[in-house]
Amino acid sequence: VLCMPGAMGTAETDFFPQMKGLAEKHQVVSFDPRGYGKSRPPVRDWPEDFYHRDAEDAHAIMQALGFKQYNIVGWSDGANAAVILASKKPEAVSKMAIFGGNAFVLQEDIDSYEATRDVKKNWSKRMLALHTPVYGDDLQPMWDGFCDAMKGIMARGGDICQGEAKKIQCPVYVLAGAKDPIVPNFHPEWFAKNIPNAKLHFFPDGKHNIHIKYGDEFNKLVMDFFAE
């Protein structure tokens, strides 16, 4: 199982409940994406194809480790890159669970990102406690880079991976927090409707971090799905 982190995320900050929980039945691999965590220097940059680059990096890691086929768990930005990876490498991806991702951005998405731009004012204490030890004074300029990258996608029409999602061949489990303040419900609903072989599950009181807040329940759902 390959766990693909979200924006600013690392294997340790994003998937500590899965690194242990999913390992009961699977070999679990995660990584610090290019420009994040210990995959620095250089610091993260945001070319127009950065989601495609993340997808290529993730597949290259699994190939280097000798895994020709694997399942994916993708969160947030990692979900978007996972969708691209599954569409580009159908022979490699057996099943996929994604959550917190979005195949496109609308103005309301940009507004929600902008509402979090000032990390000291707008991030939760938990998020700051997770990421400040990793990035220190680089945290604010890096998050500015992400927010600006989202505005760039919006300026280019808003598409992230809509076409790729519709080409996915493997079974996909779309999970979501019904009260996610960052990714509105229409995003996971779009994935579930447009990915050919997808099913959808909402955590009624969940927000953006359902795999951490409801770690045991999340892990069981995912492992049962992989075992089907």
Phi, psi of 203 (to 5 degrees): -90, 115
Q: How many angstroms separate the CA atoms of 62 and 46, rounded? A: 23
Q: How many angstroms separate the CA atoms of 109 and 33, rounded? A: 23
Annotated catalytic residue within 14, 180, 187, 211: 180
Task: State yes or no: is 180 an active-site residue.
Answer: yes
Q: In what order do the strands lie in the sheet with 2-4?
A: 29-30, 2-4, 70-75, 93-99, 172-177, 198-203
Task: State yes or no: is 208 an active-site residue.
Answer: yes
Strand partners, 93: 70
Task: State yes or no: is 211 an active-site residue.
Answer: no
| Contact assessment for residue 81 and residue 58, using Cβ atoms and an 8 Å cutoff | yes
Annotated catalytic residue within 59, 131, 187, 208: 208
Annotated catalytic residue within 76, 87, 187, 211: 76
Catalytic positions are 76, 180, 208
